[in-house]
Amino acid sequence: MQHEEFYLQMSDGFTLYGQGWHPESEAKAAICLVHGLGEHTGRYAHVAEKLVANGYAILGCDLRGHGKTGGPRGHFPNYEQVMKDIQSILAFLKEKYPTQPTFLYGHSMGGSIALNYCLRMKPVLSGVVATSPGLKPGTELSSTLLALGKILYSVVPTFGLDNGLDRNNLSRDLSVIERYNADPLVHPKISARFAMDFLSSGTWALEHASEFALPLLIQVGSLDHLVSVPAIREFAQKAPGVEFKEWQGLFHETHNEPEKEQVLDTMVDWLNRHLT
C-alpha cells in the first residue's frame, strides 16, 4: 500500500490538507472520502487499508476547520463552498485516476454532504456510500439554541458552538472512544453559520430524496442516537436504487464497531457489484 499526503487549493484560494491510500498495482476504482464533524481523514486509515487490500484507491481532505486544515474550527463560509470543495477534491481524484470508476463515500456529516452534493451537483459517479448520514440530529434541538444560532448566523458566523456530540455513542469498542478523546486533531466545535446551514441541508436532502439518481449504499447502526435513524430510513425509502442496511445494536461509527469487518465487507461487496 502506498500512502501520500498533499495540499489542495480550493476555488476560493483556501488550502486543504489531504491524504490518500493507493494499491501497489493498478486500482480498479477510486473513492473520495468525506469525513464527519469534528474529526479528520486520519481516523479512516484502517478503512483505507481494507479498501486498498481489495483493489481500491481512496483519498480525502481534512475539511475546513478540521484536522490538519486551517480555519476556525468547524466553520465553513457557506454551504455552496462546501459543494465546491467536494467538487475540487473529486476533480483531483479524477486527475489521478482518469479511467477508473469513481465513488463518493461520506460518514455522518460527510454522509449528508455526499447526499447533498449528488442531489445538487448531479455528478457522474459509479455510486455513493453514506454511513450514518447526518440528515437530522438524533435529539431534537431546543428552540432557544435554534434562535441563538439564527442570531449568530449573520452577526458572528464563525462563533464556535459545542457540537453536543455524545462520544460514548461513537462505538461499543471503548478503545475507539479512548483514542478519540486523546486525538489532538479532534475538536467539539461547529460554527453558528455552518450549524444552521447543515440543519437546512439535511431537511432539503430529505425533501429531494426521490431525485437521487445514483446507486447508493446506506449503512447505519440501529442504536445510533447522534443522528436521526428515522430520517435516514425516510431517505432510503424515498430514494430510488438504494441498498439500505441497518445494523442491529450498533452505534454511530459502524466502521469502528466490534463488527466492523462485517460492515466493511458489506461496503466492499457493494462496490464490487457497482464497478461500471
- Backbone phi and psi for residue 185, each to the nearest 5 degrees, phi listed first: -90, -5
**If residue 133 lies in a helix (H) or strand (E), which one and from where to where?**
none
Nearest-angstrom CA–CA distance, 198 and 196? 5
Assign 161 to helix, strand or coil. strand
Using CA atoms, how far apart are residues 207 and 217, in angstroms rounded to an integer? 19
Of 172, 165, 208, 211, nearest to 188 (Cα)?
Answer: 165
Place of cell 442504536: 223
Phi, psi angles (nearest 5°) of residue 132: 50, 50
- pLDDT in the model for residue 217: 98
Q: How far is it, in rounded angstroms, from Cα 119 to Cα 211?
A: 7
From the number of C-beta atoms within 10 Å of its C-beta (0-12, 13-18, 19+), residue 243 rates as: middle
Name all domains of the chain by residue range, CATH numbers in brackets.
2-273 (3.40.50.1820)
| Per-residue cell: 94 | 479524477
Tell me what pLDDT residue 157 has: 87
Distance from C-alpha of 68 to C-alpha of 167, rounded to nearest angstrom: 21
CB 256 within 8 Å of CB 171: yes
Write down the pLDDT at residue 200: 96
Q: Tens of pLDDT along the chain (276 residues)? A: 999 999 999 999 999 999 999 999 999 999 999 999 999 999 999 999 999 999 999 999 999 999 999 999 999 999 999 999 999 999 999 999 999 999 999 999 999 999 999 999 999 999 999 999 999 999 887 676 776 777 778 788 898 888 889 999 999 999 999 999 999 999 999 999 999 999 999 999 999 999 999 999 999 999 999 999 999 999 999 999 999 999 999 999 999 999 999 999 999 999 999 997
Strand pairing class (29-34; 102-107): parallel
Distance CA 50, CA 59 (A): 13
Cβ atoms of 270 and 243 within 8 Å: the answer is: yes
- What's the pLDDT score for residue 144? 67
Q: The C-alpha cell of 23 is what?
A: 494499491
| Residue 242, φ and ψ in degrees, nearest 5 | -100, 135
Cell numbers describing residue 255 = 466502521
